[in-house]
Amino acid sequence: MPERCAMPSSTESTPDAARFPLPPPLPVDEVERIDPDRFRAEYVERHRPLIVRGAAAEWPAMQWTDARLRETLGAMPLRVDVVPHDAEGRLLLDATEQISMTAAELVERFADTPDAHHYVHDLNLPPPLYPDIGDHGLSAVFPVLRRHTLWWGQDGQVSTLHYDDNENLMCQIAGSKTFLLFDVCDLPAMYARPGDFRSDVDLARPDPDAFPRLADATPYVARIEAGDMLYVPCYWWHHVTSYGRNIAVSHIINETMAQRVRVTGRLVEAGALPVDDATRDALLEIVRADERPGRRNRRLKAFHRDYVAEHGRSYYPHVIFERLVEESLVDILRGHAAY
């Protein structure tokens, strides 16, 4: 049965709470070590984030510096985001441009370009860096590890509020990051852009008049330091702020069919679909059936086709449901081939 949305492990607020005109963020669970079976049962299968302190602390990658990366990567071209500032110093994320440069050129830009941030963002990890990536033991919980990605940037880099359609084990190498996270069940309060994985909400300056439903969401906060790992479950919304010279490596992992069905069920339970009670109950009966995930997914697809044929419209309010229910494994792999 899908986990219900009310699942905070603590009611304590955090010191960062005053920064956000939202309900006080709840702290994400954290441990110093966890065995794979417990991680799978208590966090992956319950679709909950987790910090593992020191999970990457012994990796050779912990010795990475700007100079080390510049030397190791040499003349290899890197895809770099260039994010301009406005007159008040705010990052203009929607004006981001991508250019190609070497690591040496990037390090120079860090020092010599005060009017823009330069950020290596979600870049497939260059092969010369692979020997420095260790094993924290938790990636074995997932059947398909899609890729490793590199994140390398400056103090104050921020992201949009968005979700990812993959599981993520984010390992912090240098500097620190603060994640403000929202459960997938808060979809109705996220003001998702049509057909997109991003929100219209600017969490650096949230406007309660323009986005009143945001006050109904439950934020969680996770701050990770060098050596820490954060599990970000697929489809959880998150906004990220980086502090200090910042280097991180993500393990990007395909979500399983079981996880896709589980997330679909959680969204149906949360009332994220504009359907009547009878339709909602029928969908939950499919999700909770004692059948293989692939079988339940096929039944969800067939139910939706029949509903559209009868009512002349879809009950999917956002593209997230098309990914969760309609896409096949072949569709997903084809989409990922562009990376």
Q: What is the pLDDT of residue 182?
A: 97
Q: What is the pLDDT of residue 5?
A: 46
Higher per-residue confidence, 338 vs 99 = 99
Q: Provide the percentage of residues in the chain whose pLDDT is more than 90.
A: 71
pLDDT confidence of 2, banded at 50, 70, 90?
very low
Q: Is residue 306's pLDDT more than 90?
A: yes
Q: What is the pLDDT of residue 87?
A: 76
pTM above 0.85, yes or no: yes
Mean pLDDT of the 107-121 span: 85
Q: Read off the pLDDT of residues 79-103 as tens digits, 9 standing for 90 and up.
A: 999 988 887 778 888 888 999 999 9
Q: What is the pLDDT of residue 97?
A: 92
Beta-ladder partners of 85: 91
In Å, how far are 114, 200, 203, 211, 241 from 87, measured between CA atoms? 12, 21, 19, 25, 20
**Of 116, 108, 111, 118, residue with least CA distance to 91:** 116
Helix (H, G, I), strand (E, B) or coil at 141: helix
pLDDT confidence of 330, banded at 50, 70, 90?
low
Report the alpha-carbon distance of residue 95 to residue 132 in Å, rounded.
34
DSSP, res 127: G
| pLDDT-wise least confident of 53-67, 143-157, 235-249, 276-290 | 143-157
**268 Cβ contact partners less than 8 Å away, ≥ 6 residues apart:** 280, 283, 284, 287
Question: Measured on CA atoms in the order 47, 5, 163, 59, is the torsion positive or negative?
Answer: negative
